[in-house]
């Protein structure tokens, strides 16, 4: 995942850059892969394919709707691939070329194919062997039984070798690092079962476990494939959110020509051009032009900052009003962004140390099973007077019967259902362990700008300002794309006032707007620009002034828009007994106001990324399990340090990379919903483990005593797997209840509420 | 029991046929875009009504 791109709304690929991603297709032509996140429905598929095929030279244009990608082929070396992007933009889609080999985007899902193929082979083998086994259990004897066993062996042995590879590989990887995971007992059971069954077949005996060994693989592969598919889907959804930014910058050379250069070709001292509406690609000093830059992703500051010649600007800031020429001072390795990435990488180490529930259990379970099997072998050797074949048979039966089929399904099955429920509600899990970690949290730390708020300013109560002044201000603001202008216009229109027509509107980047209204000059902009003196006290909130020639200037104050449900979410989290805190890079005034509005007692303002990171690490050291919720570049290290972390989909690329969970949409209730699902999922996992252990408590003594016939093994193992899977599916019921509009609460409170609602409806 | 000489090969052959069909479908990319195919089947733009 490219960490250097910052997401923006209006960014597009600079000309000439698509050629960087095109590849030879090995058949004498060329191929280009593009991400088109905006496609929606059949109409779009058709429009894209038709539009691209109409380009002269294009031989193939194929949409992959699941992954929201387009693959385009052509033969003519003179064909300009930028035409593809232009065509897509003409159709109303923004597109980003990508490298299919780049990790995370995943055009080719080799692992998924391999699992599916293994699943198909195991399924075929299990079905046919079961057919033969049933006749054996029904009483086939002598030569017929031997024949059936031989056919079973002929099917099972190659199938085990083929379909068992994912398990054998994982088990081998664990063993070679001197660890135990669930795949170790699984592999051991499958392999020993196959060996022993072959031995029994050769010696015309009756205990062949081919069916058990193969159906075991079949069940486990189902779990593993579903798990894998969920991961791929979440990963591709996250990568689609990624920027449409080209990783490079527009450079002015000595003769004043513009050229787009990729990141790696940039050099210190180059002149970089940044148009209004673009993200600043590098750290540098302004040498020409003036503008306002939005630093909200970098510092959390909600007010845009004016910049002019000599100001230092950082990669990731959004240039709002005027074109800027920068002298490049640092890029790539030396930027503020890479400093943040370094902090993030070091913070992430603690999370890698987290051991997942299944692995923790495997570390206990595997030795117990192996000791049991060893004990069984010794016991039977002693009883039978060193009859090796019989003793080995019973020992291997113990291995087969205890093979953690249900345990192997207990976690993935729940995970798949939970991820599905969250996915349908716009919440994407980036790793499986995120759900387990989320269930453990006891403290929630929010960032302010962009997380608790939408990062969009809103016009506050205007008090005594006349309708006329508002109308004039809106008329001026119409001519600008500055966020405060847009907020002013929206605020005035929402009050039912029609903007006055203002003539000759000129934007003075970094200062404001001027124009003529009814023959007098009017200005809208910074205090200095509008002649507001020291007598009017400054506030911490963003303000702009309006002056109509000959009148006293008036001030408009803005506040950040709170996310819908922010208040409710904070209240609910506190009710559930969690500590809720807020840390922000913004100034103290807006942060305090926000904290009071939301009822958050612990808050910090004006913090740097380092301070945020140190704070979260400090909480962790004191024993707290912190859920960090943030969006900015400045939050990324803290997100990486949190026990679990969430970011809205509008976050910076690096913020989304650092977070475990990304949620779509404006509502903050995703935080609370994700935790709820995580808690339910943990409860179901525990139930599954308990059921699997109960099964073992019955089955193990039977096996140790030597009564585990192949029939018993087949029935017991399938039954326990089915029970575990159907229990996991219960998690999906949350989704149905959400859709029916039940207010979900934790445990008893939720049941109480649902009960009362039912009573009310009945009455 | 002679019937087994036919039945078992037939059963295995049918099973293998299914497996082969699945592998063919997988190899020819029919599982690459499940959501897309679900939509494409509804595409009837190029179908022209029969003239009578």
- Among the partner-chain residues B1, B19, B34, the one whose CB lies closest to the CB of A120 is B19
Identify the weakest region by mean pLDDT among A226-240, A591-605, A658-672, A733-747. A733-747
CB atoms within 10 A of CB A458: 16
Over residues A493-498, mean pLDDT: 84
Q: Which pLDDT score, from 0 to 100, does residue A580 have?
A: 93
Give the separation between CA A281 and CA A319, rounded to whole angstroms.
10
State the virtual CA torsion across A600, A601, A607, A610 in degrees, nearest 10: -100
B33 to A128: CB separation less than 8 angstroms, yes or no: no
Q: Which pLDDT score, from 0 to 100, does residue A8 have?
A: 36
Q: What are all long-range contacts of A577-580, with beta carbons under 8 Å and residues at least 24 apart? A: A577/A442, A578/A441, A578/A442, A578/A443, A578/A444, A579/A442, A579/A443, A579/A444, A579/A624, A580/A443, A580/A444, A580/A446
Give the separation between CA A63 and CA A520, rounded to whole angstroms.
57
Q: Which pLDDT score, from 0 to 100, does residue A759 have?
A: 66
Reported confidence tier of residue A33, pLDDT bands at 50, 70, 90: confident
Strand (E) positions, A436-533?
443-446, 453-459, 503-508, 512-517, 520-525
Q: Minimal CA–CA distance to A563: which of A488, A462, A454?
A: A454
The number of C-beta contacts closer than 8 angstroms across A and B is 53
Q: Which residues contact A567 (CB under 8 A, 6 or more apart)?
A: A597, A598, A599
Please determine, for residue A715, whether its predicted confidence score (pLDDT) is greater than 50: yes
Q: Which residues contact B17 (CB under 8 A, 6 or more apart)?
A: none
- Looking at the complex, report in whole angstroms how far the Cα of residue A124 sits from the nearest Cα belonging to chain B: 6
- Looking at the complex, report in whole angstroms how far the Cα of residue A132 sits from the nearest Cα belonging to chain B: 9
- The segment with the largest mean pLDDT, out of A70-74, A507-511, A528-532, is A70-74
Over residues A367-379, mean pLDDT: 90
* DSSP one-letter code for A94: -
- Among the partner-chain residues B1, B26, B36, the one whose CB lies closest to the CB of A116 is B26
Q: Which pLDDT score, from 0 to 100, does residue A517 have?
A: 86
ipTM at complex level: 0.79
Over residues A658-670, mean pLDDT: 85
What is the 3-state composition of chain A as percent helix, strand, coil, each rounded to the nearest 5?
A: 50, 15, 30
Reported confidence tier of residue B1, pLDDT bands at 50, 70, 90: low
Q: Minimal CA–CA distance to A634: which of A242, A316, A297?
A: A297
Per DSSP, helices labelled H in A242-293 are none
Please determine, for residue A667, whether its predicted confidence score (pLDDT) is greater than 80: yes
* DSSP one-letter code for A346: H
Q: Side by side, which strands form the sheet with A427-429?
A: A427-429, A661-663, A644-648, A626-629, A443-446, A579-583, A602-604
Query: What CATH code is assigned to A1-108?
Result: 3.30.70.100
B39 to A151: CB separation less than 8 angstroms, yes or no: no
Give the separation between CA A518 and CA A129, rounded to whole angstroms.
92
Quote the distance between the C-alpha of residue A173 and its chain's center. Answer: 27
Identify the weakest region by mean pLDDT among A98-107, A317-326, A659-668. A98-107
A162 in contact with B, Cβ within 8 Å:
no
Confirm if A724 and A695 have CB atoms less than 8 A apart: no
**Domain extent at residue B20:** 3-40
**Which tops the pLDDT comparison, A366 or A7?**
A366
Q: Which pLDDT score, from 0 to 100, does residue A21 have?
A: 73
* DSSP one-letter code for A337: H
A562 in contact with B, Cβ within 8 Å:
no
Confirm if A328 and A270 have CB atoms less than 8 A apart: yes
Identify all chain A residues contacting B35, using CB atoms and an 8 Å cutoff: 65-66
pLDDT tens column, A248-276: 778 887 777 777 777 767 788 888 888 88
A135 in contact with B, Cβ within 8 Å:
no
pLDDT tens column, A405-430: 777 788 888 888 888 888 878 888 87
- Looking at the complex, report in whole angstroms how far the Cα of residue A532 sits from the nearest Cα belonging to chain B: 59
Over residues A696-725, mean pLDDT: 84
3-state secondary structure of A562: strand
CB atoms within 10 A of CB A495: 13
Q: Which pLDDT score, from 0 to 100, does residue A154 have?
A: 93
Identify the weakest region by mean pLDDT among A281-295, A334-348, A699-713. A334-348
Per DSSP, helices labelled H in A106-242 are 110-137, 142-163, 165-176, 183-202, 210-241
Q: ∠ CA(A290), CA(A545), CA(A466), 5° rounding? A: 150
Topology match between the domains A1-108 and A455-561: no
Within a domain: residue B50? no
Please determine, for residue A159, whether its predicted confidence score (pLDDT) is greater than 90: yes
Query: What CATH code is assigned to A455-561?
Result: 3.40.1110.10
Percent of chain A residues past pLDDT 90, beyond the cut: 12
Confirm if A321 and A292 have CB atoms less than 8 A apart: yes
Return the bridge partners of A293, or none.
A305, A319
3-state secondary structure of A36: coil
Q: Which pLDDT score, from 0 to 100, does residue A379 have?
A: 93
Q: Which residues of B touch A (CB under 8 A)?
A: 1, 4, 8, 11-12, 15-16, 18-19, 22-23, 26, 31-36, 39-40, 42-43, 45
pLDDT tens column, B3-22: 878 888 888 899 899 999 99
CA atoms within 13 A on the CB side of A668: 26
Please determine, for residue A153, whether its predicted confidence score (pLDDT) is greater than 90: yes
Return the bridge partners of A517, or none.
A520
- Looking at the complex, report in whole angstroms how far the Cα of residue B49 sits from the nearest Cα belonging to chain A: 20
Confirm if A372 and A702 have CB atoms less than 8 A apart: no
pLDDT tens column, A49-83: 989 988 888 888 989 887 788 889 998 888 888 88
Percent of chain A residues past pLDDT 70, beyond the cut: 88
- Among the partner-chain residues B8, B26, B32, the one whose CB lies closest to the CB of A151 is B8
> Does an H or E element contain A332, and which?
none
Which residue is listed with tokens 């209006």? A10
Confirm if A189 and A401 have CB atoms less than 8 A apart: no
Q: Which pLDDT score, from 0 to 100, does residue A94 have?
A: 79
Residue of B nearest to A69 (CA): B33
Identify all chain B residues contacting A65, using CB atoms and an 8 Å cutoff: 33, 35-36, 39
Interface of A with B in 66-125 (CB under 8 A): 66-67, 113, 116-117, 120-121, 124
- Among the partner-chain residues B4, B15, B34, the one whose CB lies closest to the CB of A127 is B15
Q: Side by side, which strands form the sheet with A283-288?
A: A258-262, A248-252, A271-274, A324-330, A283-288, A312-313
A45 to B31: CB separation less than 8 angstroms, yes or no: no
Please determine, for residue A242, whether its predicted confidence score (pLDDT) is greater than 80: no
Confirm if A443 and A625 have CB atoms less than 8 A apart: yes
Q: List Cα–Cα distances, A732 to A220, A418, A423, A729, in angstroms.
A: 21, 7, 12, 6
pLDDT tens column, A90-111: 888 878 777 666 544 444 567 8
Q: How many domains does chain B have?
A: 1
Tokens of A363: 């570390």
Please determine, for residue A160, whether its predicted confidence score (pLDDT) is greater than 90: yes
Identify all chain B residues contacting A155, using CB atoms and an 8 Å cutoff: 12
Burial A633-658 (b: 16+ CB within 10 A, else e): bbbbbbbbbbbbbbbbbbbbbbbbbb
Return the bridge partners of B51, or none.
none
Within a domain: residue B46? no
Report the catalytic residues of A. Answer: 447
3-state secondary structure of A68: coil
Over residues A645-666, mean pLDDT: 83
Q: ∠ CA(A132), CA(A138), CA(A139), 5° rounding? A: 100
Tokens of A376: 């069984």
Give the separation between CA A208 and CA A140, rounded to whole angstroms.
13
Q: Which pLDDT score, from 0 to 100, does residue A6 have?
A: 33
Q: Is A712 exposed, middle or buried (0-12, 13-18, 19+ CB in 10 A)?
A: middle
Quote the distance between the C-alpha of residue A595 and its chain's center. Answer: 28
Q: Which pLDDT score, from 0 to 100, does residue A443 have?
A: 93
> Does an H or E element contain B49, and which?
none
Tokens of A436: 């387990």
Confirm if A474 and A459 have CB atoms less than 8 A apart: no
List chain A domain ranges: 1-108, 109-243+338-441+625-763, 455-561
Tokens of A740: 């029916």
A139 in contact with B, Cβ within 8 Å:
no
State the average pLDDT for chain A: 81
Q: Which pLDDT score, from 0 to 100, does residue A222 have?
A: 85
Q: If you compute the radius of gyration of chain B from its CA atoms, what whole number of angstroms results?
A: 20
Identify all chain B residues contacting A128, using CB atoms and an 8 Å cutoff: 11-12, 15
- Looking at the complex, report in whole angstroms how far the Cα of residue B48 sits from the nearest Cα belonging to chain A: 17
Tokens of A605: 């303002």
Number of H helices, E strands in chain A: 24, 27
Within a domain: residue B47? no
Give the separation between CA A8 and CA A649, rounded to whole angstroms.
12
What is the DSSP annotation of A645-659?
EEEETTS-HHHHHH-
Tokens of A471: 């109308």
Give the separation between CA A139 and CA A141, rounded to whole angstroms.
6
């Amino acid at each position: 995942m490219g960490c250097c791109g910052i997401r923006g709304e209006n960014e597009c690929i600079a000309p000439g850059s698509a050629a960087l991603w095109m590849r030879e297709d090995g058949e004498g032509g060329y191929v280009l892969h593009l991400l088109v996140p905006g496609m929606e429905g059949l109409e779009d598929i058709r429009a894209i394919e038709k539009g691209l095929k109409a380009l002269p030279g294009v031989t193939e244009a194929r949409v992959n709707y699941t992954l929201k990608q387009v693959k385009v082929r052509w033969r003519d070396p003179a064909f300009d691939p930028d035409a593809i992007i232009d065509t897509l933009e003409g159709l109303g889609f923004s597109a980003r070329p990508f490298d299919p080999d780049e990790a995370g985007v995943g055009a080719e899902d080799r692992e998924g194919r391999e699992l599916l193929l293994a699943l198909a082979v195991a399924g075929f083998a299990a079905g046919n062997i079961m057919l033969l086994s049933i006749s054996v259990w029904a009483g086939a004897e002598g030569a017929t039984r031997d024949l059936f066993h031989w056919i079973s062996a002929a099917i099972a042995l190659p199938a085990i070798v083929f379909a068992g590879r994912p398990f054998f590989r994982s088990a081998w990887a664990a063993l070679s690092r001197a660890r135990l995971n669930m795949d170790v007992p699984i592999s051991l059971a499958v392999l020993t079962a196959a060996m022993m069954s072959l031995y029994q077949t050769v010696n015309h005996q009756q205990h062949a476990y081919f069916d058990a060994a193969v159906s075991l693989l079949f069940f486990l592969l189902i779990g593993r494939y579903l798990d894998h598919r969920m991961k791929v889907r979440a990963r591709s959804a996250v990568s689609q959110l990624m920027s449409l930014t080209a990783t490079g910058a527009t450079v002015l050379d000595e003769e004043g020509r513009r050229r787009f250069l990729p990141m790696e070709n940039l050099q210190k001292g180059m002149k970089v051009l940044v148009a209004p509406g673009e993200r600043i690609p590098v750290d540098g000093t302004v040498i020409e032009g003036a503008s306002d830059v939005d630093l909200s992703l970098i510092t959390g500051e909600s007010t845009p900052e004016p910049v002019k010649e000599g100001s230092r600007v950082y990669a990731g800031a959004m240039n709002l009003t005027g074109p800027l020429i920068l002298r490049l001072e640092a890029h790539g390795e030396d930027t503020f962004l890479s400093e943040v990435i370094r902090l993030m990488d070091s913070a992430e180490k603690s999370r890698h140390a987290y051991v997942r529930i299944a692995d923790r259990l495997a570390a206990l379970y595997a030795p117990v099973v192996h000791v049991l099997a060893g004990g069984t072998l010794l016991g039977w050797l002693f009883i039978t007077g060193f009859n090796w074949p019989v003793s080995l048979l019973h020992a291997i039966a113990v291995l087969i019967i205890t093979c953690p089929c249900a345990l192997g399904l207990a976690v993935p099955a729940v995970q798949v259902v939970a991820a599905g429920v969250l996915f349908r509600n716009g919440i994407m899990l980036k790793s499986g362990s995120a759900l387990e970690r989320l269930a453990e949290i006891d403290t929630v730390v929010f960032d302010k700008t962009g997380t608790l708020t939408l990062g969009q300013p809103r016009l506050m109560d205007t008090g005594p300002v006349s309708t006329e002044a508002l109308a004039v201000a809106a008329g001026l603001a119409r001519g600008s794309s500055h966020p405060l202008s847009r907020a002013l216009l929206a605020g005035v229109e929402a009050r039912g006032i029609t903007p006055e027509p203002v003539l000759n509107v000129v934007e003075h980047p970094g200062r404001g707007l001027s124009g003529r209204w009814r023959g007098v000059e009017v200005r809208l902009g910074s205090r200095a620009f509008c002649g507001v003196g020291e007598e009017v006290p400054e506030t911490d909130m963003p303000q702009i002034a309006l002056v109509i020639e000959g009148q006293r200037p008036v001030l408009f104050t803005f506040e950040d828009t709170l996310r819908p449900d922010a208040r409710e979410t904070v209240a609910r989290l506190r009710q559930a007994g969690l500590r809720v805190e807020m840390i922000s890079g913004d100034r103290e005034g807006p942060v305090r106001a926000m904290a009071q509005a939301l009822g958050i007692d612990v808050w910090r303002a004006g913090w740097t990324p380092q301070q945020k990171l140190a704070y979260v690490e400090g909480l962790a050291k004191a024993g707290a399990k912190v859920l960090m919720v943030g969006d900015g570049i400045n939050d990324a290290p803290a997100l990486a340090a949190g026990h679990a972390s969430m970011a809205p989909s509008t976050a910076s690329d690096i913020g989304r990379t650092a977070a475990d969970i990304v949620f779509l949409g404006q509502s903050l209730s995703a935080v609370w919903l994700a935790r709820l699902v995580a808690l339910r999922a943990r409860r179901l996992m525990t139930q599954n483990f308990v059921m699997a252990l109960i099964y073992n408590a019955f089955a193990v003594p039977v096996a140790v005593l030597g009564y585990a016939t192949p029939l018993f093994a087949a029935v017991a193992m399938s039954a326990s797997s089915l029970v575990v899977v159907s229990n996991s599916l219960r998690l999906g019921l949350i989704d149905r209840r959400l859709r029916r509009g039940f207010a979900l609460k934790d445990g008893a409170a939720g049941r109480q509420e649902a009960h009362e609602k039912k009573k009310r409806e009945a009455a | 029991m002679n019937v087994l000489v036919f039945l078992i090969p037939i059963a295995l052959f049918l099973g293998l046929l299914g497996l082969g069909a699945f592998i063919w479908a997988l190899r020819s990319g029919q599982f690459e875009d499940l959501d897309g195919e679900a939509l494409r089947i509804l595409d009837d733009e190029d179908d022209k009504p029969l003239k009578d």
